[in-house]
Structure 1
């Protein structure tokens, strides 16, 4: 039998505003707008969404929390309704297309705190010349073919939301090895739903392919942009699209 909570009854004008907000939020949790186990937006964003004060949102969250419909930890409040957990996609390797089909010997990755290329700065909403975390990746097969190079720039949002990325700032000298293969996992664990948009084009008069990946979160905030060049004579390109936030 389905559980009936105190906010399952029809709303009336006499009920407190926070009660009405709790009922609306519960509806969004149940219809899948906020998948089970994912992190809710912050109080400020919820207040803007419902057109109420942060105190009203705080009271509404407490109503749902008392009924066991929300769980709160250090990362914020999470939907606790019954439902299938967010599944981990089979491939979360960062950056896009990082692994060639054949074993490589020249696999190298570093990070630097520097101004990104102008195209990256514009895509991430960064002012010209403003530094950010920039990741460089290169690889090549043993015979020197199938070379891949990738340049990734992270946004201020990504560095603010994902503590694992933020930790690299103090050691981003451009020389030390920095494998960020789990970057997408870190983003998802921080409650971010990843929307990927890949643009693939062949470079004229070469066997190379250029892949530009732009990743944003569920609020359409840019997280990163990656520019990947691949010698595509023999390797296939494999890429993902939307990755749900992890609970």
Structure 2
């Protein structure tokens, strides 16, 4: 953020300084300088950026919170404007493979508090034979030609940092429907930068492929592992991504 000073933007007659700062900050949220869902800089940084006191920044944030444009939790404040973050691909939803399912697809999803699949526990830092939050997903195309099965295990770090995920523990009995399509957005709102690494392997002797996604944060801490097996009945597996324009 480039530093500004109070002299750059003269006060309108009778306009409180904090209201002008709120207007400027809202403008930066709208133009994508601070993308929706991203954490805002701290009060000290905002005060330096706008050339005002921290108390003025605090009043400006309170005004935006009152209007529902900024939300604050124990990890700080973030933009709460409607719409996806400008850099978020339209098909990057959770779980892997679900966001780009064909129209008419039948799908089921649920969560369970259970021992993760072999190989997941060690990679995620889950103690042997200890349960964690595991998400199960299944879908099939309307014509029955394509099916997808995905199993996701979340790490202790993800459950500790992301309140929306941790709240599933008490109701993760595997029987109820689970709506975790915004899981990655929840992680980002918790201040985690996400690095995805997808590995695609063809299963010998079958028409299926396995896609393994590993996600870690900016501190290289593992967050989740998803294993997707898809029977596409075709030679090419296509993942399509659309990145919305910044408006």
TM-score, scaled relative to structure 2: 0.65
For 1:62 and 1:231, locate their aligned partners in 2 and report how far apart those are by CA, in whole Å.
51
For 2:240 and 2:114, locate their aligned partners in 1 and report how far apart those are by CA, in whole Å.
27
- Judge conservation of contact 1:132–1:155 (CA < 8 Å) in 2: yes
Q: What are the residue-to-residue correspondences of 1:1-247 with 2, within 5 Å?
A: 3=4, 36=34, 38-39=38-39, 63-64=44-45, 66-67=47-48, 73-77=72-76, 87-98=87-98, 99-105=100-106, 107-234=107-234, 236-238=237-239
- Judge conservation of contact 2:3–2:48 (CA < 8 Å) in 1: no
The Cα shift of 1:184 comes to 1.1
Q: What SS is found at the alignment partner of 1:67?
A: helix
Deviations 1:85-136 (A, max 9, x none): 863332231111124335222x110100011023010110111111110000
Q: What SS is found at the alignment partner of 1:116?
A: coil
| Cross-structure match for 2:12 | none
The Cα shift of 1:36 comes to 4.8
For 2:150 and 2:43, locate their aligned partners in 1 and report how far apart those are by CA, in whole Å.
45
The Cα shift of 1:198 comes to 0.4
The Cα shift of 1:148 comes to 0.6
Deviations 1:195-227 (A, max 9, x none): 000010100010001000000011111110001
Q: What SS is found at the alignment partner of 1:118?
A: coil
The Cα shift of 1:68 comes to 5.0
The Cα shift of 1:66 comes to 4.3
Change (3 A) 1:189 1:239: farther
TM-score, scaled relative to structure 1: 0.65
| Cross-structure match for 1:16 | none
- Judge conservation of contact 1:113–1:173 (CA < 8 Å) in 2: yes
Note the residue ranges of structure 1 that are not aligned, 5 or more in a row.
Answer: 6-34, 42-60, 241-247
- Judge conservation of contact 2:75–2:191 (CA < 8 Å) in 1: no
Pick which of 209-218 and 178-187 moved more: 178-187
- Judge conservation of contact 2:145–2:232 (CA < 8 Å) in 1: no
- Judge conservation of contact 1:111–1:133 (CA < 8 Å) in 2: yes
Q: What SS is found at the alignment partner of 1:174?
A: strand
